[in-house]
Amino acid sequence: MAVKKSETSGEVYIARVNRETYTFCILGTAPLICNRMSQKARQELLLPKGRKTAAEKAVSLKHNPFEEYRASPYLATDPNAPTRIQLLSAMFKKALMTAALDMPGAKKAQIGRLLYVVGDRVPVWGVPKLMMSVTRSADINKTPDIRTRAILPVWACEVTVSFVAPIIRLPSVVNLLVASGITSGIGDWRVEKGSGSYGTFDVVEKDDPRFRMVVESGGAEAQQAALDNPEPYDDETAELLSWYSVEANRRGFKVDTKPRDDEGKGE
The secondary structure of 94-150, three-state, reads HHHHHHHCCCCCCCHHHHHHHEEECCCEEEEECCCEEEEEEEECCCCCCCEEEEEEE
Please report which confidence band the pLDDT of residue 14 belongs to, taking 50, 70 and 90 as the band edges: confident
Please report which confidence band the pLDDT of residue 55 belongs to, taking 50, 70 and 90 as the band edges: low
Q: How far apart are CA 262 and CA 267, in angstroms?
A: 10
Task: Kindly tell me the burial class for residue 218, based on how many C-beta atoms sit within 10 Å of its own C-beta (0-12, 13-18, 19 or more).
Answer: buried
pLDDT at 155: 98
Q: For residue range 230-242, list pLDDT tens digits in order.
A: 999 999 999 999 9
pLDDT over 80 (residue 4): no
Q: For residue range 159-202, list pLDDT tens digits in order.
A: 999 999 999 999 999 999 999 999 999 999 999 987 889 999 99
pLDDT at 57: 61
pLDDT at 243: 93
What is the arithmetic mean of pLDDT over 212-236? 97
Q: Is the peptide bond before 144 cis (omega within 30 degrees of 0)?
A: no
In eight-state DSSP terms, residue 199 is S
